[in-house]
């Protein structure tokens, strides 16, 4: 691998020699990478490269067959998904999981409530006034960060795809997670919505110092907001480097980018 940037001294999500196998199929094969706090790190690769499986291993939804996963410098290999979330690991999925019949604010509030309930289930039954105020404040701050306060009382089912993506993102922010894994968050967005979404992510990193590991197929977005990029192909990490190095790599171009279109769009 190339030299890691200086901010890697602020560990967020790290994997060393991560492997996942399903029967005889190696979905992820000895992949090593790091997504530090205070930075947006890209994880790219063609469909079927193993990106979502990697996220599932990092969050504990699947059990690795080898390697080590660390969160904030500590191994979490023996922890359940819920325990990793309580330690500050949040995630979104390719398919949005929102409650269409609820308002945007209620959906966002679920992020804060679930984090609190995970630490102490009794809070869902006998939550104190202080706890309820904390959830309310976290919800408001998350919606302000994503610029969707005006959608607070709108039913999610009536919102556009771009608005729904921001509600989903705000829900993660409301949970107070310091490390976030975002799986194709710009899927279904048009160019203007994608630009807005990218601005929200960079603003969150700047204001909150969170770390983001981003799986994304929109290369213009990846090249504009990521500080470092890893490339996965057939379960193996074939390249890592800065945006400039990624754009210039013949290996990456052959495996995934395929043309100069990305350089032209991100110029």
pLDDT in tens, 183-211: 999 888 999 999 999 999 999 999 999 99
| pLDDT at residue 80 tops 90 | yes
- Segments making up each domain of the chain, as ranges: 1-88+178-267, 96-176
Region 81-107 average pLDDT: 92
Region 53-82 average pLDDT: 96
For residue range 128-140, what is the model confidence (pLDDT) as tens digits? 677 788 899 999 9
pTM of the model: 0.86
| pLDDT at residue 255 tops 80 | no
The domain 1-88+178-267: what is its CATH number?
Answer: 3.40.50.300
For residue range 139-182, what is the model confidence (pLDDT) as tens digits? 999 999 999 999 999 999 999 999 999 999 999 999 999 999 99
pLDDT band at 87 (very low <50, low <70, confident <90, very high): very high
- The three-state DSSP-derived secondary structure of the chain is CCCCCHHHHCCCEEEEEEEEEECCEEEEEEEEEEECCCEEEEEECCCCCCHHHHHHHHHCCCCCCEEEEEECCEECCCCCHHHHHHCCEEECCCCCCCCCCCEHHHHHHHHHHHHHHHHCCCHHHHCCHHHHHHHHHHHHHHHHHCCCHHHCCCEHHHCCHHHHHHHHHHHHHHCCCCEEEEECCCCCCCHHHHHHHHHHHHHHHHHHCCEEEEECCCHHHHHHHCCEEEEEECCEEEEEECHHHHHHCHHHHHHHHCCCHHHHHHC
């Amino acid at each position: 691998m190339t030299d890691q940037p200086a901010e890697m001294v602020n560990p967020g999500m790290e994997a060393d020699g991560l492997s996942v196998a399903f029967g005889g199929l190696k979905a992820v094969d000895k992949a090593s990478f790091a997504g530090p706090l205070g930075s947006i790190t890209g994880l790219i690769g063609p469909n079927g490269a193993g990106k979502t499986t990697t996220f599932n291993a990092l969050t504990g939804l699947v059990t690795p067959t080898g390697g080590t996963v660390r969160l904030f410098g500590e191994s979490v290999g023996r922890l359940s998904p819920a325990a990793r979330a309580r330690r500050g690991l949040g995630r979104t999925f390719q398919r949005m999981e929102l409650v269409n019949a609820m308002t945007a604010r209620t959906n966002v509030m679920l992020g804060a409530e679930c984090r609190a309930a995970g630490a102490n289930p009794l809070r869902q039954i006998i939550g104190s006034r202080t706890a309820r105020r904390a959830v309310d404040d976290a919800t408001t701050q998350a919606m302000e960060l994503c610029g969707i306060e005006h959608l607070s009382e709108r039913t999610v089912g009536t919102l556009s795809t771009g608005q729904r993506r921001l509600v989903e993102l705000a829900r993660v922010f409301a949970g107070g997670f310091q490390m976030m894994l975002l799986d194709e968050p710009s899927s279904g967005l048009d160019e203007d919505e994608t630009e807005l979404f990218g601005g929200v992510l960079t603003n969150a990193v700047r204001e909150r110092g969170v770390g983001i590991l981003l799986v994304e197929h929109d290369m213009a977005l990846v090249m504009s907001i990521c500080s470092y990029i890893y490339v996965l192909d057939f379960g193996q990490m074939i390249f890592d480097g800065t945006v400039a190095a990624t754009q210039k790599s013949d290996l990456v171009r052959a495996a995934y980018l395929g043309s100069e279109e990305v350089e032209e769009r991100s110029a």
